[in-house]
Chains A and B, each alone.
Chain A
Amino acid sequence: MSFIVEHGPALAIAVPLMAAFATPLISRAGGRLRELWAVLCLAATLVIVVMLSMDVLSSGVRVYALGASIPSLTSPGGFPIRIVLEVDAMSAMMGLISVSIALLVCIYSTQYMKKYQGLDKFYALLLMITSAMLGLVFTGDLFNMFVFLELLSVSSGALVAFYMGRGEPAEAAFKYVIISATGALMVLLAVCFLYGQYNLLSIGALAGVMQFTFLDKIALVLLVSAFALKCGAVPLHMWVSDAYGEAPVPVTAVLVVVSQASLYALFRVSFTLYGAMATISVIGWAMIILGILSMFIGVTLAMMQRDIKRLMAYHAISQTGYMLLGVGVGLAVIGDVGALSSYGMTAIEGGLFHVINHAMYKGLLFLTAGAIIYRTGTRDLNKLGGLAHAMPVTTCFFIIGMLSIAGLPPFNGFSSKIMIYESVFMFSPVLSIIAILVSILTLASFVKVFQSAFLGPKRREYKDVKEVPVAMLIAMGILAFFIILFGLLPDLAVQWLIEPAAKALLNQLNYVGVIV
């Protein structure tokens, strides 16, 4: 047991990575075994991450120096040269949500993807995405952040183009990979700027010696814009609708968490690496502006979509805006102790809670869209109708997801949005009013989807449609359960996960202290 916790950070990355490369071999023995293998490996990863998180939440930051005889020896001879994995409460929270969604998606895919060819590659890439996400959130090294970011874009780009029979998926994947590759190269350029000045790569050590020269500020701008691009904030949102729309449905649900892993990188860089900079509140304001733009433009673009997946993709952009707004307000007042304790902290907690909630209700909505596509074979809202007669359980799940994304009680979207509304209102009432307005528009847009897909008389062309298989229902049911749980008992999540994560972001000295 203590072995798993001690080597947890490395194991959590290594297990899915090894499993990914073993998948093509195992699928020679049959499809059922391959699916069992993928689910089991992800479940094992989840167990490792849960054990690691429990240890991190009870006993503080855990570092792991790769290749060292003692894993905690990060600076042999007083010089931080080792490649370091560093897990604090924030990384643990992101790790938990990434693996859980990946596991549920894998269970869902065992049914959904059954009729397609090339599934050994599908599961291998799914495991690889998980590994890359965990690497991105656990790494304590800037260069590794770049490596995992590239691994993430390569593996998810390949999955976006999974349907090779048509041209559009390849087109979307080309766009996605070109944009991610250029963004990742800008990250590498920023890493070069920092390394050239301080001869350091470890985030903790760099944060300790950073002088905030002009070059450092250029590096910060490069990092922030690259990560904002990767998480799909307006005005860098052009790839989101294509990639989310054309990818297979299970992959889309994973892409939501992939975007949030880059959001994590954005928060990590601006809070931990540059947290001590006197003018960091400028970045907070930049996040607020990006957030407001994403919220409003995302939801207005969603209003006119006919394709159910593209519509949900635009809503994903809009919801990312809430996280940027919440955390941005916290970052904007980081220098002001009074404001930070009265509403800044709550704003950050709301933003981070929304990350978790968004991954769950957006995952659920995409999976219900998948259930519709699985049974009817179309994504066009104008061709759908009357599905509530044949698919009652899916309809219930869709209603849960819809009310949650619109921020209605008692679902989890409400618990995080109310934290954001309240704290942002104390910062600036106008911003809060925009956020509430966007929620109303979101509800309006989803009511349209609900009406055109589920309500109405039973259609003749869908008379053979029935409820989706049980594996898909299980995956959706677990998500729906947690949505209601976090809606009824938000304190459960806030107290155990969110508050430690927000504190970990704000107390950068904890992160720095274990390295130097």
Chain B
Amino acid sequence: MISLPFLAVMVIISIGLSAVIFRRNLVKIVMGTSIIASAINLFLVSLGYREGGVAPIFTGAPRLEMVLPTPQALTLTSIVIDLAVTAMMLSFAIIIYRHYGSLDSRKRRLRE
């Protein structure tokens, strides 16, 4: 049985990938990678979800069996990395726009 979150993750990843591959606008390409990253974060969080689980906060937990917080830790790390990468790609897009006055990826090519 395929549960709904996993199906949603795969759909969002394909949307992001198609944006990266087929879009011509540089900002939309950056948005594409950002969408893939969010989909994978969603995947990680839904992997870590346990029905009726207890959040791993020692002082506030009703009992000692708690959820392993690894997926959440992974998600946080991946969000931070995604932020850095997106910021950098957008700054490249700004530089490209300053030099060529356009964000269309077909407008210029490096010399062959």
A binds B: yes
Show the binding face of A for B, using Cβ within 8 Å.
81, 143, 146-147, 150-151, 153-154, 157-158, 161, 164, 166-168, 170-174, 177-178, 181-182, 185, 188-189, 192, 195-196, 199, 201, 242, 245-246, 307
Known contacts A147-B81, A167-B96; A177 and B88 CB within 8 A of each other = yes
| Residues in B neighbouring A164, C-beta threshold 8 A | 95
**A208 to nearest B CB, angstroms?**
18
**A147 to nearest B CB, angstroms?**
6
Known contacts A150-B81, A161-B92, A188-B40; A174 and B47 CB within 8 A of each other = no
Task: Tell me which of A147, A171, A189, A201 contacts B43 (CB under 8 A).
Answer: A189
A182→B108 CA distance, assembly (Å): 22
Interface size on B, residues (CB 8 A): 33
| Residues in A neighbouring B93, C-beta threshold 8 A | 174
List 12 contacting pairs A-B, 8 Å CB cutoff, sorted by A. Answer: A154-B84, A164-B95, A167-B99, A167-B108, A168-B110, A173-B92, A174-B93, A182-B20, A185-B37, A188-B78, A195-B70, A246-B110
Nearest first, the 4 A-B pairs at minimum CB distance are A167-B99, A170-B95, A174-B92, A196-B47
| Residues in A neighbouring B88, C-beta threshold 8 A | 154, 157-158, 177
| Residues in A neighbouring B36, C-beta threshold 8 A | 182, 185
Question: 10 new A-B pairs (CB below 8 Å) besides A185-B40, A188-B78?
Answer: A143-B74, A150-B81, A154-B84, A177-B89, A178-B33, A181-B33, A185-B36, A189-B13, A195-B74, A307-B111
Cβ of A178 and Cβ of B95 under 8 Å apart?
no
Q: Which residue of B lies closest to A188 (CB)?
A: B40
**B2 to nearest A CB, angstroms?**
12
A171→B33 CA distance, assembly (Å): 17
Known contacts A157-B88, A192-B43; A182 and B33 CB within 8 A of each other = yes
* Majority secondary structure of chain A interface residues (helix, strand, loop or mixed): helix
Q: Which residue of A lies closest to B71 (CB)?
A: A195
| Residues in B neighbouring A154, C-beta threshold 8 A | 84-85, 88
A242→B37 CA distance, assembly (Å): 25
Q: Which residue of B lies closest to A157 (CB)?
A: B88
B8 CB within 8 Å of chain A: no
Cβ of A199 and Cβ of B68 under 8 Å apart?
yes
**A244 to nearest B CB, angstroms?**
11
Q: Which residue of A lies closest to B21 (CB)?
A: A182
| Residues in B neighbouring A307, C-beta threshold 8 A | 111
Cβ of B40 and Cβ of A161 under 8 Å apart?
no
Most buried by B among A173, A174, A196, A307: A174
Which chain B residues in 74-102 approach chain A with CB under 8 Å? Answer: 74, 77-78, 81, 84-85, 88-89, 92-93, 95-96, 99-100
**B22 to nearest A CB, angstroms?**
13
A122→B60 CA distance, assembly (Å): 47
Cβ of B100 and Cβ of A167 under 8 Å apart?
yes
A242→B71 CA distance, assembly (Å): 37
| Residues in B neighbouring A196, C-beta threshold 8 A | 47
Which chain B residues in 11-47 approach chain A with CB under 8 Å? Answer: 13, 17, 20, 26, 29-30, 33, 36-37, 40, 43-44, 47
**B64 to nearest A CB, angstroms?**
14
Known contacts A164-B95, A185-B33; A195 and B40 CB within 8 A of each other = no
Q: Which residue of B lies closest to A301 (CB)?
A: B112
Cβ of A170 and Cβ of B81 under 8 Å apart?
no
**A142 to nearest B CB, angstroms?**
10
A195→B68 CA distance, assembly (Å): 12
Cβ of A147 and Cβ of B92 under 8 Å apart?
no
A195→B48 CA distance, assembly (Å): 10
A189→B10 CA distance, assembly (Å): 10
Known contacts A170-B95, A196-B47; A178 and B89 CB within 8 A of each other = yes
**B50 to nearest A CB, angstroms?**
12
**B96 to nearest A CB, angstroms?**
5
A164→B98 CA distance, assembly (Å): 11
